């Protein structure tokens, strides 16, 4: 089935390269967390047969995740050329989108109100997702990988290890970054259950309700609601503001 589906109630949201990368990355991060816990707390965590197995699996998985990260960057930056658009919040996201989406996750969802953001193939992430992924993919993941490479090559990279404050500092930083990644993973899984995010990452397609395809005036009546750029009424509002 092609990306331009003839079915009006479905959109092709996640191409197969993205889905493959996502699940390799997810499994890799879980494996890193499990093996890392046994390396850090060998007396309390004994999920693997021995300490050496945990280290070996951790190192190999770290290399796999690093290669996977490179694939992700190459695909979005070089192949699709949509990295900036997808992951960097714009002015509207920072001014209104973050607060609006936070209110939805904390309150509006439990009151049965619709999400203020509808994903499209060109705009997959809401403002909170953009901000979180920007921090994770451009700060957290590179730092975890860099500190892991330093710890994996202490002797040949001893000059860089000393420049970074020594092995104890790098070990502590790597552990704190891993804890932050674990916190993000838990939050990511929870928020994925608040919307239709899991199915598109499995099959690529997302089912869209008919009212999402047509301009409607109802959302404007919701207190605190501000239309987003992908709603037709938002374009009308912007046009009226320019006319005025």
CATH of the domain at 89: 1.20.950.20
Tell me, yes or no, whether 237 lies in a domain.
Answer: no
Q: Which domain holds residue 22?
A: 13-206
Tell me, yes or no, whether 219 lies in a domain.
Answer: no
The pLDDT score that the predictor gives to residue 209 is 61
What is the 8-class DSSP label of residue 120?
B
* Unique residue bearing structure tokens 């710890």: 151
Tell me, yes or no, whether 184 lies in a domain.
Answer: yes
Tell me, yes or no, whether 232 lies in a domain.
Answer: no
Tell me, yes or no, whether 85 lies in a domain.
Answer: yes
Please state, in angstroms and rounded to a whole number, the distance separating the CA atoms of residues 242 and 240.
5
Which range is least confidently modeled, 31-45, 100-114, 182-196, 216-230?
Answer: 216-230
Tell me, yes or no, whether 126 lies in a domain.
Answer: yes
The pLDDT score that the predictor gives to residue 5 is 43
Average pLDDT over the chain, rounded to whole? 83
Tell me, yes or no, whether 34 lies in a domain.
Answer: yes
Number of domains in the chain: 1
Tell me, yes or no, whether 242 lies in a domain.
Answer: no
What is the 8-class DSSP label of residue 3?
S
Element (H, E) at 206: strand 205-207
Q: Is the pLDDT of residue 176 over 80?
A: yes
Q: 12 in helix, strand or coil?
A: strand
Q: Which residues are registered as beta bridge partners of 10?
A: 207
pTM here is 0.76
């Amino acid at each position: 089935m092609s990306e331009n589906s003839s079915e009006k109630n479905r959109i092709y949201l996640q191409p197969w390269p993205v889905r493959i990368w996502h699940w390799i990355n997810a499994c890799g991060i879980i494996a890193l967390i499990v093996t890392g816990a046994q390396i850090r707390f060998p007396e309390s965590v004994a999920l693997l047969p021995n300490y050496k197995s945990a280290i070996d699996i951790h190192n190999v998985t770290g290399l796999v995740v690093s290669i996977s990260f490179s694939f992700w960057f190459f695909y979005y930056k070089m192949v699709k050329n949509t990295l900036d658009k997808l992951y960097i919040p714009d002015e509207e996201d920072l001014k209104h989108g973050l607060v609006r989406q936070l209110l939805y996750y904390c309150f509006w969802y439990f009151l049965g109100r619709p999400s203020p953001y509808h994903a499209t193939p060109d705009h997959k992430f809401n403002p909170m997702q953009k901000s979180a992924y920007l921090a994770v993919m451009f700060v957290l993941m590179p730092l975890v990988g860099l500190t892991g490479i330093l710890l994996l090559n202490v002797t040949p990279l001893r000059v860089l290890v000393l420049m970074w404050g020594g092995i104890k500092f790098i070990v502590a930083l790597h552990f704190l970054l891993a804890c932050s990644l674990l916190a993000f993973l838990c939050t990511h899984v929870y928020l994925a259950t608040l919307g239709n995010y899991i199915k598109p990452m499995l099959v690529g397609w997302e089912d869209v309700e008919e009212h999402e395809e047509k301009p409607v005036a109802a959302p404007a009546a919701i207190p605190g609601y501000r239309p987003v750029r992908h709603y037709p009424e938002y374009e009308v509002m912007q046009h009226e503001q320019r006319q005025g």
